[in-house]
Structures are given as C-alpha cells and as structure tokens.
Amino acid sequence: MSNPVHAWWYLLCMLAAFNIAAWSLAARALGRRRATMSAEFYAACRIQLVLSAVYVSGCAFRSVFPVYDIPRLCLSDTWLSTVAVGRSVATVAELCFVSQWALVLNATAKSTGSAVARMVSLLLVPLIAAAEVCSWYAVLTTSNLGHVAENSTWATAAVLVVGAMIAMLPYFPAPRRRVLFGWCLAGLAYVAFMFLVDVPTYWLRHVADQAGNRHYLSIAQGLADVSHRRVVSFRWEDWKSEVVWMTLYFSIGVWFSISLTQPRVPVTRIVDEAKRFRAARSYAFRSKA
C-alpha cells in the first residue's frame, strides 16, 4: 500500500465489487416492481438491465485488469491484461452503454414528439461505433491522433444529447424541467472535461510523438503487438495520467448505467409525466380553438 499505484488498483477493485453488488440490488428491485409495471415497460427495463450488466461487467474486468493501451502497460502479467482483450471488452461495454442512452432518448422522444431527440437517439450508436474504430486505430498503430478523434467523437455525442434534452424542456412541467436541466449541466461538465482536458492531452502526446519522430505500427503489426506484448509497471510516473479518468469512468459512469435500469429514476419518471403534460397542452389548445 506504500506504492500509490497499488493503492489505486485496490480502489478500482473495490469499486468493481461495489458496482456488481449495486447492479444486483437494482436487478432485485426491478423484479419486485414487476407486478406493478406494464409488460411493455417491464420489457424496456429488462433490456436496460441486460445492457447495463454488460457495461458493469466490462468496467469491473477493466478495473481488475487495467491497461494503458498505447505503451502496453498493465499491472498483472497475464494474457487477460493484453490490449487486445482489454480493448475488445471496452468496445462491447461502451456500445452497450451508449445503447442505453439511445433507448432512453428514443422513448422520451416518442412521448414528447421531439424530432430533435429522436434524431439524436438514432445517431448515438453509429457515432460511438465510429469512435471505437478510431480507438482501435490508435491502439493498433500507437498513434495518439486516433484517440484525439475518438474522444472528440464522444464529446460531440454528449453535445448532441445535451441539445436533445434542451429541445425537450418545453414539453415537461416545471418541476421536471429542473431535473432535466440538472442532467444538461452534468452533460456540459463532461463535454468541458473532454474538450478542455482529455482531447488536448492526446493532442499534445501526438505532437510530442511527431517531434520525436515516433515509429508507428501498421495495422498488421499492431494486431500482433496488442495480442502478445505487455509491460508490467507499478511506477506512478507511468500511470498518473490515467488515474483520474479511469477512476471516474469506472465509478460515476457505471452508476449512471445502473440508474437507467430503474423505472423510478428521473429520466424514466419524466417520460410518463411528459405524456400527460403534452396531452394537457393539446386539450387546452383544442378548448381555446
């Protein structure tokens, strides 16, 4: 524990155990509410639960076997710590996570009639699929330019989600507008972090690589490299740039995923309220006419 990397690794492992327990409790809570829910609504929550299970499991795996992709750094000398395995797990998990958001936005768009929200819900998964391609390009070739494109795409997707939520604000009663506004602020904080911290970090790494005449790998060379090469390191200097984003990703990101499985969290509650509010507005308009 005197080594800060060891302490950080133990923290990630504890977060993984906590997150799995939290998901299990969420699954049990959903099961207990089944009798009070319509078949359609329960089926939608079950889909969210399955998608969340994949994301939670993927993040737990990456917490136990953390990998710093481009330098091939890991904390345990096992094939499970290769970049090929870690990146594959991350790809599946992240596509499931963004699918959760796409489904929530699509359901809310249907209840509010928001064309903007519906369009964004359809764009999210293809956008993040493109981000995953950029990520694989980065880890295979060791070019940080791929990570610049990847994280810029994630940030752009978040901008679209915030824009969709803003477009839906008029459809909700005042109390729920405050809830939605809170989600918008959280989304903007994420966007700010990505564009002001994350993307510039990868860009500076790319600039440094260019200045140092870094030799990049071909795709074929990269495939062989990520499948076998791993460098075990517990030096803080090697990992310090990854600690903040990994810790936040494997905690707050996972908690958002779990929250989307529950029918009583703000996002799912306001769907029904939006329907009622929209119906009331339509009735009032017809009455005046």
Nearest to 157 by CA among 119, 189, 115, 128: 128
Instruction: Give the pLDDT of residue 31.
Output: 87
Backbone phi, psi, residue 73, to 5°: -85, 145
Q: For the chain, give the longest Cα–Cα distance.
A: 74
pTM of the model: 0.87
Rounded Cα distance between 230 and 75, Å, is 9
Residue 82 lies in a domain: yes
67 located within any domain: yes
Q: Is residue 285 part of a domain?
A: no
> Residue 274 has what pLDDT?
53
* 232 bridge partner residues: 74
Domain-located, residue 146 = yes
CATH of the domain at 150: 1.20.1070
Would residue 188 count as lying in a domain? yes
Mean pLDDT of the chain: 89
Establish if 155 belongs to a structural domain.
yes
Average of pLDDT values for 106-128?
Answer: 91
* In the predicted structure, residue 24 carries a pLDDT above the cut 90: yes
CB 82 within 8 A of CB 227: yes
pLDDT at 267: 45
Whether the predicted pLDDT of 97 surpasses 50: yes
Distance CA 253, CA 101 (A): 12
Digit-coded pLDDT (tens) for 2-20: 699 999 999 999 999 999 9
Q: What is the pLDDT of residues 153-175, one digit of tens each?
A: 999 999 999 999 888 888 777 76
Q: Looking at the predicted structure, is the pLDDT value of residue 268 above 50?
A: no
Residues spanned by the domain of 53: 4-246+258-278
- In this prediction, residues 108-119 reach a mean pLDDT of 87
Task: List phi, psi (to 5°) of 262.
Answer: -100, 135
Mean pLDDT value across residues 24-38:
88
Question: Does the pLDDT at position 265 exceed 50?
Answer: no
On whether residue 251 sits in a domain, the answer given is no
Contact partners, residue 31, CB within 8 Å, separation at least 6: none
Structural domains of the chain, count: 1
3-state SS of the chain is CCCHHHHHHHHHHHHHHHHHHHHHHHHHHHHHHHHHCCHHHHHHHHHHHHHHHHHHHHHHHHHHCCEECCCCEECCCCHHHCHHHHHHHHHHHHHHHHHHHHHHHHHHHHHHCCHHHHHHHHHHHHHHHHHHHHHHHHHHHCCHHHHHHHHHHHHHHHHHHHHHHHHHHHHCCHHHHHHHHHHHHHHHHHHHHHHHHHHHHHHHHHHHHHHCCCCCCCHHHHHHHHHHCCEECCCHHHHHHHHHHHHHHHHHHHHHHHHCCCCCCHHHHHHHHHHHHHHHHHHHHHHHC
Residue 284 located in a structural domain: no
Instruction: Give every strand in the sheet of 231-232, ordered side by side.
Output: 67-68, 73-74, 231-232
d(CA 58, CA 88) in angstroms, rounded, equals 10
